[in-house]
Structure 1
Amino acid sequence: MKRARIYHRGRDIWVSVSADGQSLHLPDGSFIPADGASWLPPVTPGASSYALGLNFADHNKELGFAPKLATPLIFMKGGNCFVGHEGDTPRPADGNQMHPECELVAVIGRPARNVTSAEALDYVAGYTVANDYAIREYLENYYRPNARVKNRDATTPIGPWIVDAADVPDPQALAITTRVNGELVQNGTTADMIMSVAELVAYLSCHSTLMPGDMILTGTPQGVHFCAPGDRVVTEVEGIGRLVNHLVAG
C-alpha cells in the first residue's frame, strides 16, 4: 500500500495511491488522477527528521574522505526544508555547486527506544524518497553540515508517497538513481550503505526515543552533478517511487 499527502479543496489530506501510481483514493471514496494532484511532503507535522551524511563508502571516496567514519554523521532537518513531488526548489544565485542527493527514507511506525538491529525493522512503517540537495560553496565543515547547506526552505524534495514496509522485503537491495534533464548522474544501491536501515534505527533509538512519523534520511551514493535553474531532477529508489523536482532561480 502507498499513502500520500496532497492539498485538495482547501485542506491537507492523506490519500491512498493505486498500485500503478496513476490514481489517488480520497477519504470520501472518490478518485482523482495522480497527475492532477497538488503533492505535499508525506511528513507528519511535528515529527523529527534525522539525516545521514557520508553513509556510502563510494561517495566518501569521491569526496576524499575515509571509507567509513568512526561514528555516523547525523544531523537534524526542520519541516521548512521539505517540498513535495513536482515542487520547485530555489537555487541561490551564488550556489553554483548545488547538486542533488537521492536517498532512501525510513519512516518510523511506533515508539522505538533501545531497540536492537535484529528487531529494528519491526519499528519501520514504510519508506519514501528524498532528494537532499547540497550546496558545496556553503559548507563550513564537511563532517557537520551547517544549516545554510542542509536546512534551507524547500531544498529537500520528498515523496511522492510512503510505501508500506511490508511491501519492501529488503531495504538493503534497492537501486538508487538520479537523472538531471534525462542524464543519469547517480547510480547506486542501498546495499552499499555503511550503516543499514536497521543499524541506523537501533543507533538512533539508543540516544532518543523514535516516534511514529519520524523520518531517517539514510545517505546517498556517489555522483556529484552541479545543477542550474531550469533543470528537471528525477530521483528514484527502486520499488519505492520516482520523485520529480524543478530547480528555479532563488
Structure 2
Amino acid sequence: MPNPILPPDSSQESLPEDSFFSHLIELRTRLIRALLAVIGVFAILCIYPGTGAVYDFIAQPMIASLPAGNRMIATGVITPFLVPLKVTLLLAFMIALPYVLYQAWAFIAPGLYRHEKQLAMPLVISSTLLFFFGMAFCYYIVFHTIFHFIAMVSPESINFAPDIEAYLGFVMTMFLAFGVTFEVPIVVVVLVSTGVISVEKLKAMRGYVIVGAFVVAAIVTPPDVMSQLLLAVPLCLLFELGLFAARFIKVRELNRDESETEQ
C-alpha cells in the first residue's frame, strides 16, 4: 500500500512526457540528417560540375529551340548568380530524396503494423520512382516539344530570348505538375487497398477522370493544345495503369482473407 505522506513515483508520471520528448528528439535527429544530406549534395554539385553547368543542363531544351545566335537573358542584377544556385539546390534535393524518404520511413516505421509496413515501403519507393519518371518525361519529351512549337509560331519581328528567372519558375511548375501526375497509379492503389473506393466505382468514374485530366492540363500547362495533350494523355493512361494494379491488390486481399478464414 502506498504511503499517503510520500509523493507519488515521479518516474511513472513522466513516462508519457518522456516518450513524447524522445519522439521529438528522434524527429529532430532525422530532420538534421536529411538536411545535412541535401546540403552535402548541394556542396558537391557547387564544386563539380558547378552551378553554371547545372543550369545549362536544365536550360538545354530551351537553348536548343532558340534561333541561331539568341541566348537567354537575365533582367536582375544578381539573377545570374541566384537562379543557377536555386536550380542546383533543387537538383541536390532530388538526388538526396531517397535518403530523405528513408529518414521519414525510419521515423514512422516503429508505429506501423506489419501489414502497413509491407504496403508502405513499396509505395514510398514506387512513388519516388514515378515522380522522377514524370520529371524525366517532362524534360526530354514535353520541353522539347513545347519550346520548338513556341519558337516555330513566334513572329519574326519578336526577339525570342526568355528571362532565366521566368524560365526557372516555368520549369519548376512543369516538373511539379508532371511529377504529381505520375503519382496517379499510387493514389488509385492506396484508395482501393484502404477500402475507400472499389475498382468498379473507379471504372464507372472513367469519363469524369478524362474530363478532369484535360481540365487540369489546361490549368497547369501553357495555353496550347500540344502541351495540354502531353499532360492529359499520360494522366489518363496512368489512371488505367492504377486500375490494372489495383485489381491484383484486391485479389491478394481476398486470397489473404480466405486463407485466414480457413485457418
Q: Please indicate the TM-score interval, normalised by the length of the shorter structure.
A: under 0.3
> 1 or 2, which has the higher helix percentage?
2
Given the two structures, how large is their TM-score scaled by the length of structure 2? Answer: 0.21
Highest CA radius of gyration, 1 or 2?
A: 2
Given the two structures, how large is their TM-score scaled by the length of structure 1? Answer: 0.22
> 1 or 2, which has the higher strand percentage?
1
Q: Which has the higher contact order (CA 8 A, sep 6+)?
A: 1
